[in-house]
Structure 1
């Protein structure tokens, strides 16, 4: 299991009780990939720059795809740029992978036995692993779920991350999610103002 897969599973788990915006989730998934690649020595961070290392096969198709897409020429890519580039549509890719593996299914309607568009997790060892990791307050998953507002903990309540590169990625994820939220709010305000103008004509 990868951190990104665990993160998607816990965000889908109905027990969390929070809807997560797909853009926010995609940014966090890209950050989760970076962290797993740091921990596998596939890359290192020089400040906020991603310096590629060896490219060992991880056994996970999407994580291997992430490793192969690293910029391998100086001045390299910043962690922030990686999140925005790699994160585009990433939540859909992970969801499709889980569905292909039978870990996610489309729910059937209550009145009619046809599949709805809503997806649900099936009971599986992968789901239990992700839930146990979240319940154990594992620092990386705890920080990522906090960035997505799945948990209502403040930064002071989170378990400490001791690896500098991982802490840098987590801070970058938090900043990117906050920036995306701000853009979303501005658009909502602008759309409301536009609607008010039309009503006044």
Structure 2
């Protein structure tokens, strides 16, 4: 399995205080892709620029797509550019991939409901158990990405840390992108509230 798939499984498996926003999850999945590409030596970082190498065959179709999507000549992708571009709709792509691989199944409804699609649930599989093992071991990368999207609490000083500078740089870029996305949501909500007040004569 890969970091993005493990993160998605954790997001579906773990109880949360609030639902995980799909946009937040998509940005974190894109960050997980970069971390796996770093681990495979398919990319390196030059500051905040992503410099591709000649990647080995990746064990995952979506990671192959991620590697193929990178700009291969200077000026290269910045971390921020990649996260926003690649992250668009990425949670849906990973859900579809899990379903295509038999990791998800559609739950049978007790009665016919033409207006609603059947919810998807994780099946008991080796992939799900591997993700659960990585989760319970507090593996630092998965823990940091999960905390970024609100699946778990932020790591404390006693938590194992990330000791790779490039990985830490990617995680910081994910945090920055998530803060930007939340700022955009808040600004949109304020704009909509102001517009509503105009129409109400407030």
TM-score higher than 0.5: yes
TM-score band by shorter chain is over 0.9
Q: 1:105 is paired with a residue of what secondary structure?
A: strand
Q: 1:15 is paired with a residue of what secondary structure?
A: coil
Gapped regions of structure 2 (runs ≥ 5): none
Given the two structures, how large is their TM-score scaled by the length of structure 2? 0.93
Given the two structures, how large is their TM-score scaled by the length of structure 1? 0.93
What residue in structure 1 maps to residue 49 of structure 2?
49
- Deviation at residue 85 of structure 1 after TM alignment: 0.8
Question: What is the number of equivalent residue pairs in this alignment?
Answer: 201
1:30-52 CA deviation, whole Å, 9 max, x = no partner? 00000000000000001111011
Residues 16 and 150, structure 2, Cα contact 8 Å, conserved in 1? no
What residue in structure 2 maps to residue 88 of structure 1?
88
Gapped regions of structure 1 (runs ≥ 5): none
What residue in structure 2 maps to residue 128 of structure 1?
129
What residue in structure 2 maps to residue 197 of structure 1?
198
Q: Distance in 2 between matches of 1:176 and 1:30?
A: 11
Q: Give runs of aligned pairs for residues 102-117 of structure 1, distance below 5 A.
A: 102-112=102-112, 116-117=117-118
Q: 1:195 is paired with a residue of what secondary structure?
A: helix
1:121-147 CA deviation, whole Å, 9 max, x = no partner? 111111111111011000100000010
Q: Distance in 2 between matches of 1:78 and 1:124?
A: 36
What residue in structure 2 maps to residue 20 of structure 1?
20
- Deviation at residue 112 of structure 1 after TM alignment: 4.2
Q: 1:10 is paired with a residue of what secondary structure?
A: helix
- Deviation at residue 116 of structure 1 after TM alignment: 3.3
1:175-201 CA deviation, whole Å, 9 max, x = no partner? 101110110111112111211211128
Residues 142 and 159, structure 1, Cα contact 8 Å, conserved in 2? no
Let me know the Cα RMSD of the aligned residues.
Answer: 1.8
Q: 1:5 is paired with a residue of what secondary structure?
A: helix
